Amino acid sequence: MTPEQLVAVASPKINALGSAFYFDVDTLERGKAAGLDGFRMYFLGRGGVLGDVEPAVVTSAFGWFAPELVTKIWTSAKALMGPREGAQLYQECAAALGRKKLAGVEGIATFCALAERVVSAADPAGLTLFAGWAAEPRADDAPARAMQLLAVLRELRGSAHLVAVLATGVSPQLAHYAKRPDMYQAFGYAEAPEVTDDDRAKLADAEALTDQLVLPAWRSLTHDEAETFAGLLDRIEAALA
């Protein structure tokens, strides 16, 4: 399997699997115990790797949310818990889901070794949220570590995609509406923009550019290792289903 083939196969799966713990019932319960609802837990947990920053910094790193919503949720969340503490709690939630669901996955330690190599090979320049997540300490046990690494790999493509969208000249707001109109209002927006055929063409270019931006990291795996990684990803997907 070539790196290009692996990116095409793995990217949509990592997008889904890397966020599996975000609104998992156990994550929500841990947030509730800390006084955080699901949305504030998400903002603080995912953005807490940035530190105690101004809302504009979180808006920049997240990319897809309306600035007004970020200001409201981030400010109120960090009044309840420090961002770094929130980030650590989110890492623990990811680890907990991994231990719960992935302990029986054959080859999970191999998955971690290959995923770590991809993370280490990725250039973090311009990929702020990925850089923050990649720098976080990870669990020693493979099932927990695998779930954390899935989240890191998700941030790799997510951060690269934000760069790619901006490079094509499409606003994140329009890109978000074009891809997920059902989630548009939940991300803090009101009036829907008009999406033209030219916009759609540019967004297709952005997907291709995203692949190009992340490819160097995935080229750290040999063709045989890419096959192994894809197979292990299928096992993880089945275990988390």
- Taking only the tens of pLDDT, the chain with its 241 residues reads 999 999 999 999 999 999 999 999 999 999 999 999 999 999 999 999 999 999 999 999 999 999 999 999 999 999 999 999 999 999 999 999 999 999 999 999 999 999 999 999 999 999 999 999 999 999 999 999 999 999 999 999 999 999 999 999 999 999 999 999 999 999 999 988 999 999 999 999 999 999 999 999 999 999 999 999 999 999 999 999 9
At residue 21, the pLDDT reads 97
User: In this predicted structure, what is the pLDDT of residue 67?
Assistant: 96
> What are 217's two structure tokens?
């990291």
Return the ∠ at Cα 170 (arms to 62 and 120), rounded to 5°: 45
State the sign of the Cα–Cα–Cα–Cα dihedral 125, 213, 159, 92.
Answer: negative
Provide the CB-side half-sphere exposure for 98 (13 A, CA). 26
